[in-house]
Structure 1
């Protein structure tokens, strides 16, 4: 396990003066977006969306596992909707996000009921099967809060190239799950807020020492939900998954864009 400072590479891209707009929380950049349905091995249909770069093949694929649905987590949770709205255009990656069983968002409600991370193993498998069947390249699992436990417990699949964890609580993950990832040799990045109520950087460094290749990245000043830190989180995600893309990512966009205000579904 390595504890690393959150330094980033500077972007050399230039943004034109015409049609340049600031990228805000509700800005939606161009992408090829498609509503999808994932089918689980235990017979459920899950609501999802695949966002592809506006042109060309994706450099990588991010499969997003959302925070705890009993506390408002869903595919529209703020980091994940911003990832889907920005990263296909800014980083050339595909973003697959979906609602785990029993979870609702503006796009709809997935079938089934929340199962405390157990039955959700079928949900993780369904997302990875979709990515494999559709030949999506360079698949990375991205977990946030509850989603990090789903990734650690159920996600060490041969298809998965690496793991990016955001605010990991290590609530359901046990030493044997960390050992599985350690043996895999796959890269594991852990973005840990300084003031997280569940797991802070120093303790994360001790816990993730069980995975020698894991890198803990502190977020100075951040709390568990990383409100106000979306740009830093997305920069770190892109730097880990597609290191050839300069970061920080642009904060403005030269070209067409739209805005969308998400309806929060309880």
Structure 2
């Protein structure tokens, strides 16, 4: 059976609560490979909540629906402070990307407590800013950045990643609203190990199954290379997402 936009492949999924150092409870979900140990972990950082970004934004949702089964990757999604999705509302208020440092730290502490292996950050738009500003933690393996606007991340944030020598992969749509491939290559030049991949015909929101597959494949190529390229077929049980 072909994997389609609404396909939900098997995984061990459970709701989780992250607790930030400043006393907030954040709504989340952990999806684990069914019946086996994950080979790597994605910590998902969603787009801007004031523009409807949330843990259920479609690329992150599809990562959780497919990658545990197709690539043995654990996928942790959560709503940053003040953000609402069908999974619920996280406590607190939007912090303009500053107070969210506690949210990123809470997610990484959760992965450590759960013993989740080889955590990578998967940030999208606003989530890339959180990854660049607050995500260069010793336990983090690297960062995958989707549609990075580079509005909030400072030169010193970029330098922190440069000094870490951790891999940084930016997937930049050809027709992005905020930052396009040529400018992205120039600005990410501050991080010598950064790889900027321009994606032809794509836009900021990655609408369309071909673009989702590009994102997931490029993510898996770095995070779980033995599973690359991802299969587009699945022989086992499949559910359909209702959103």
TM-score, normalised to structure 2, is 0.98
Q: Which residue of 2 aligns with 1:257?
A: 238
Whole-angstrom CA distance in 2 between matches of 1:199 and 1:205: 10
Q: Which residue of 1 aligns with 2:32?
A: 52
Q: Which residue of 2 aligns with 1:16?
A: none
Q: Deviations over 1:186-214 (max 9, x none)?
A: 01100000000100000000000000000
- Deviation at 1:55? 2.1
Q: Which residue of 1 aligns with 2:155?
A: 175
- Deviation at 1:257? 1.2
SS at match of 2:14: strand
Stretches of structure 2 lacking an aligned partner (at least 5 in a row): none
Q: Deviations over 1:73-124 (max 9, x none)?
A: 0000000000000000001100000000000000100000101001100000
Spell out the pairing of 1:25-40 with structure 2 (5 A cutoff).
25-40=5-20
Aligned residues: 241
Q: Which residue of 2 aligns with 1:217?
A: 197
Spell out the pairing of 1:78-93 with structure 2 (5 A cutoff).
78-93=58-73
Whole-angstrom CA distance in 1 between matches of 2:114 and 2:231: 29
Whole-angstrom CA distance in 2 between matches of 1:127 and 1:53: 19
Whole-angstrom CA distance in 2 between matches of 1:233 and 1:160: 20
- Deviation at 1:218? 0.8
Whole-angstrom CA distance in 2 between matches of 1:22 and 1:242: 22
Divergent runs of 4+, >4 A: none
1:130 aligns with 2:104: no
Q: Which residue of 1 aligns with 2:51?
A: 71
Q: Which residue of 2 aligns with 1:142?
A: 122
Bigger Rg, which one: 1
Whole-angstrom CA distance in 2 between matches of 1:174 and 1:44: 26
